[in-house]
Amino acid sequence: MVRPKYMTHSSFPHKFLAKLQEYSMPEENNHLPKISIVMPAYNQVQFIERSILSVLNQDYPNIELIIIDGGSNDGTVEIIQKYCEHIAFWVSEKDRGQSDALNKGFGHCTGEIYGWLNSDDLYLPDAFKHTVAALEAHPNKKIVFGDWLSIDTYERVIDYNHAFDFNLNHFKYEGFHLNAQSLFWYAEVHKKFSGFDIALYNTMDYQMILEFGITQGQRTFLRIPYALGAFRRYEGQKTGAMTLGVIKEHRSMAERYGYLDKFRAIGWQKRLYFRVRRGWWYYKRGGLSNLISRLRSAYVSRS
């Protein structure tokens, strides 16, 4: 089995995040579609500069970066101002949370392809090139996603996460098998999205992907064999376990989108089926060692 890129701590492209790079782009690449990236932020001074650089250093000629800050007071705004000439639009003002910030940000997008990067996460080198090449090669696809890394505070690689081919029912009843920070979609897809529900504090990424699957159909999703993004894990981050608040949000979405059987006996049976399917995908993408490692981690987390 081919060892995935970025599997070791030393393989992470730290120089890519060190400073703003200068690129000379051949004229024949001037036709490439504009990629609009929305970055919601709030008091992320520890990480936001590297997140910004992971966008600006993509060696891609047509980027629109939009940053919506919720009124940070920790130095985040000063970091944004440092790169303001390379940022298409930014604002720092109080808002009603991350969903509100995302709605504002995507309202300013003018590109053909959209992406969402949190201000503590990263894109990996060539993520934009891989995305555009995949969409051009598959004109019937509208949403592209790849694998993703889990990294710590210092960009050390904690884990390499293999994405699975998108399945809407698997996503509904069992959970994530792709990551929003490693996902790109056409502007036309977003125009049919109802918008981020500002009542959601934890699960706005779930809502977006779920609705994309419902409105676009799972056949419009394309998985590509590259790691496109890095999701940062650290103490104090908002993302965490399935708390009562998260479960409540999932139930509200099940009611809104019409699959409340998820919370009945039949729903638990479906979840079991897709849990077995998850194991099959762990084996398919990462081999037996990956499957055993995931099963061991699941057992430890439940102990």
30/226: higher pLDDT = 226
DSSP state letter for 63:
E
pTM to 2 decimal places: 0.94
In a domain, 25, yes or no: no
pLDDT in tens, 164-183: 999 999 999 999 999 999 99
Q: Are residues 98 and 152 in the same domain?
A: yes
Residue 209 pLDDT exceeds 90: yes
Q: Phi/psi of residue 49, each to 5°?
A: -65, -40
Residue 255 pLDDT exceeds 60: yes
Q: Are residues 256 and 179 in the same domain?
A: yes
Q: Are residues 52 and 133 in the same domain?
A: yes
For residue 145, give the CATH number of its domain.
3.90.550.10
State both tokens at 158: 């904690």
Q: Are residues 145 and 226 in the same domain?
A: yes
Q: Are residues 80 and 149 in the same domain?
A: yes
Domain count, the chain: 2
pLDDT in tens, 83-104: 999 999 999 999 999 999 999 9
- Contact call for residues 67 and 39 (beta carbons, < 8 A): yes
pLDDT in tens, 26-82: 555 668 999 999 999 999 999 999 999 999 999 999 999 999 999 999 999 999 999
Which residue matches tokens 């440092």?
82
Q: Are residues 244 and 276 in the same domain?
A: no
In a domain, 58, yes or no: yes
In a domain, 6, yes or no: no
In a domain, 151, yes or no: yes
How far is 78 from 212, CA to CA, in rounded Å?
35
- Kindly indicate the confidence band of residue 8, based on its pLDDT and cuts at 50, 70 and 90: low
Q: Are residues 212 and 269 in the same domain?
A: no
pLDDT, position 240: 54
Q: Are residues 48 and 141 in the same domain?
A: yes
Average predicted confidence (pLDDT) for the chain: 93
For 8-50, the DSSP string reads: SGGGS-GGGGTS-------GGGTTSPPEEEEEEESS-TTTHHH
Question: Which domain range does residue 284 map to?
Answer: 264-303
Q: Are residues 180 and 241 in the same domain?
A: yes
Q: Phi/psi of residue 41, each to 5°?
A: -145, 150
In a domain, 62, yes or no: yes
Q: Are residues 226 and 278 in the same domain?
A: no
Q: Are residues 195 and 284 in the same domain?
A: no
- The predicted model gives 133-158 an average pLDDT of 96
How far is 120 from 137, CA to CA, in rounded Å?
31
- Kindly indicate the confidence band of residue 299, based on its pLDDT and cuts at 50, 70 and 90: confident
Q: Are residues 230 and 300 in the same domain?
A: no
| Nearest residue to 172 via CA among 205, 145, 216, 210 | 210
pLDDT, position 300: 87
In a domain, 246, yes or no: yes
Residue 10 pLDDT exceeds 90: no
In a domain, 26, yes or no: no
Quick one: which H or E segment has residue 158?
strand 157-161
pLDDT, position 12: 74
- Percent share of the chain, pLDDT over 90: 84
Strand bridging mode 35-41 / 113-116:
parallel
In a domain, 1, yes or no: no
